[in-house]
A and B are shown apart, each in its own frame.
Chain A
Amino acid sequence: PLFYKGWYHFFYQYNPHAAVWGDIVWGHAVSKDLIHWLHLPLAMVADQWYDKNGVWTGSATILADGKVVMLYTGSTTENVQVQNLAYPADHSDPLLINWVKYSGNPVLVPPPGILDKDFRDPTTAWLTSEGKWRITIGSKINKTGIALVYDTKDFINYELLDGVLHAVPGTGMWECVDFFPVSKTEENGLDTSVNGPSVKHVVKASLDDDRHDYYSIGTYHEKNGTWVPDEPKIDVGIGLRYDYGIYYAAKTFYDQNKNRRVLWGWIGESDSEAADMQKGWASVQSIPRTILFDKKTGTHLLQWPVEEIESLRLKSYEFNQVKVQAGSVVPLDVGPATQLDIIAEFEMDKEALEKTTGSNVTFSCSSSGGTIDRGALGPFGLLVLADDSLSEQTPVYFYIAKGSDGKLKTFFCNDQSRSSVASDVNKQIYGNLVPVLEGEKLSLRVLVDHSIVESFAQGGRTVITSRVYPTKAIYGAAKLFLFNNATEASVSASLRIWQMNSAFIRPYPNNKESQ
């Protein structure tokens, strides 16, 4: 993704022939605001020996003179993963419709010691202090995930650095590696080449083994092209995830238009492929999210839907200090509840928080029974995409656990177990711990869109994306509720909820191919 001559560009992995993975080529769409998109013709297809078996993931780099170069992985006729260079056929075309592949491709092949099938997804390049461009490419050696580093002056000839950017044993193949700076102090994004004392660097990898995106914050050592995590316990692949739901192969780009770093993620389907074939499509992209360093925890990133999403807001509803007693459900009348933007704050009954006896029973969202598992201080939150009788419901909620030392731990979960009466959909419970600091209220933002729920706790410190497929809680029959299934504590909630308009995504008007 990139911003170029007034347009945001999105290039994506696309199968033009079926609603399943295969025949991968580059789809292309543009937007002025990251929300209203226009489809353009395919940018690149598998027409060369070096990408015949797949035009896979790549990244754009904007050069000093404003020109764009694209590096991408091709799967050759022999199924070898190689890196190729491509550039716009016409740099003055703001829509970047046509692309040219460099005649000398591939520019990189797997180096010695790296298998043909473990070399893919080159990153956006950043400048070194010597004025060279540097990129990183994920790989693995046995079960150790690694990121290789290359320097180049022209994107054609490369030198492989000794050693790797970083490696973590046991994490397996690192796909879609991303490497970028975040400001420790400012509330804006940074160009990928920025470095300095007030900057931290993030390494992110998509783990092939478990299909989750992990990140870690640390320090970049420019001289030898290495990176060290601040907290080795939460190193890449063993610590924090961008998203605790169905969210993968995400990548960021620096948006020079609004001086922010924006994150895109692939949200797959969690229904059956039979359903995908019948509906004729599969997979969606998340609403783009801004990324900021969380100054308060120092260990987390904050993700938040881009502000342009607010342009879809229609009628709003406000609810103040709604009391939800232990073991109760409160309907929220907001009209049809399939396209919503919800901002909520929860306050738990202080007495209950103090009086509850702690225990050393460990809790985790995924191994719990979902919202039917009642604790003294949770679960409580929202029921989205629920029907009147609550036979279908998707809880987005908090669960507070008190340890035997009296300390509180807050968990943020999405429970899909009763999201639909259909039997061929995913019914897991997603979620993780969310750090809640002294004096913070519990806060939630939820974007509901028919079968997609993106939920953000504590300003985006912990995020969960779910795909749900209700059969009854659809269109006019979908409702919204507050719930509190704790046994002891009551909770009070204040909310602002907006009906959301559709984004009306369509082909670009003068696009002959799409007519």
Chain B
Amino acid sequence: MTKIVSLLILEVVFCLTFFTVSYSDINLIQTTCKKTPFYDLCVLTLKSDPRSSTADVSGLARIVADSVNAKAIATLNQISALLKSVKDPTLEKALEGCIVSYNTIIQADIPVAIDAIEKNNPKFAVQSATDAGNEAQACENSFAEKPSNSPIFSGNKAVHDLSVVLQSIASLLL
């Protein structure tokens, strides 16, 4: 009887310990994401990356930066595909402008943000993240058909919102 009780107690203690470890990483994700304007997007992005279970705030910023990059590359591919078959000159001009914006995000903003986070000089990460959000917004604004959205609206929104999340998390590192 005592053996079973001991085993039970051991099992409960084991479960509690295991539960406590994962609870505290989720806690860091939650407290960090609460300090951003897009809580759900932030939590979803972080939770879907296995690195988040052992990351500190700096690591969480890195995960978001990687996510901005991935979404930006996907959107850039979308823009390139649209450019291949575009006929309307206004639309073509807007898409070409977006190529410039997205190249900036991928070649300048994200590499600088990641570098700044690694080198513990987070204000440059904040600045770059802000710029990435602005580039995505500028791209969206350049399409003539208002008030409806551009053909790459969801890409622009994802990149913009995630950039804002990155900006907020990088600010916590200041």
C-alpha gap A48/B123 in the complex (Å): 25
Given A22-B111, A272-B134, A424-B134, A54 and B100 touching (CB < 8 A)? no
| CB of B115 within 8 Å of the partner chain | yes
The reply to whether B118 and A79 contact each other, CB–CB distance below 8 Å, is yes
- 1/0 contact string of A308-346 vs chain B (CB within 8 Å): 000000000000000000000000000000000000000
Q: How far is the CB of B111 from chain A (nearest CB, A)?
A: 7
- 1/0 contact string of A1-17 vs chain B (CB within 8 Å): 00000000000000000
CB closest chain-B residue, reference A53: B119
The reply to whether B112 and A20 contact each other, CB–CB distance below 8 Å, is yes
CB closest chain-B residue, reference A172: B174
| CB of B53 within 8 Å of the partner chain | no
Q: Which residues of B contact A209 (CB under 8 A)?
A: 174
CB closest chain-B residue, reference A273: B131
The reply to whether A274 and B104 contact each other, CB–CB distance below 8 Å, is yes
Q: Which residues of A contact B104 (CB under 8 A)?
A: 272-274, 277
The reply to whether A75 and B123 contact each other, CB–CB distance below 8 Å, is no
C-alpha gap A424/B128 in the complex (Å): 14
Given A20-B112, A21-B112, A272 and B131 touching (CB < 8 A)? yes
C-alpha gap A209/B112 in the complex (Å): 18
Given A20-B128, A173-B174, A117 and B108 touching (CB < 8 A)? no
- Chain B, interface size category, equals 20 to 34
| CB of B107 within 8 Å of the partner chain | yes
| CB of A255 within 8 Å of the partner chain | no
The reply to whether A274 and B128 contact each other, CB–CB distance below 8 Å, is no
- Chain A, interface size category, equals 20 to 34
User: Secondary structure of the B side of the interface?
Assistant: helix
The reply to whether B100 and A273 contact each other, CB–CB distance below 8 Å, is no
Given A272-B131, A278-B100, A424-B138, A208 and B119 touching (CB < 8 A)? no
Interface residues in A93-150 (C-beta closer than 8 Å to B): 116-117
The reply to whether B174 and A277 contact each other, CB–CB distance below 8 Å, is no
C-alpha gap A327/B103 in the complex (Å): 46
Q: Which residues of A contact B120 (CB under 8 A)?
A: 75, 79, 81, 116-117
| A interface with B by C-beta (< 8 Å) | 18-22, 53-54, 75, 79, 81, 116-117, 172-173, 208-209, 211, 272-274, 276-278, 423-424
What are 22 A-to-B residue pairs whose CB atoms are below 8 Å?
Answer: A18-B108, A19-B108, A20-B108, A21-B112, A21-B116, A21-B124, A22-B111, A22-B112, A22-B115, A53-B119, A79-B118, A79-B119, A81-B120, A272-B138, A273-B104, A273-B109, A273-B131, A274-B100, A274-B101, A277-B104, A423-B138, A423-B141
| B interface with A by C-beta (< 8 Å) | 100-101, 103-104, 107-109, 111-112, 115-116, 118-124, 127-128, 131, 134-135, 138, 141, 174
Q: Ordered nearest first, which 10 A-B pairs have the shortest CB separation?
A: A117-B120, A274-B104, A21-B124, A273-B131, A20-B108, A424-B138, A20-B112, A209-B174, A273-B108, A208-B174
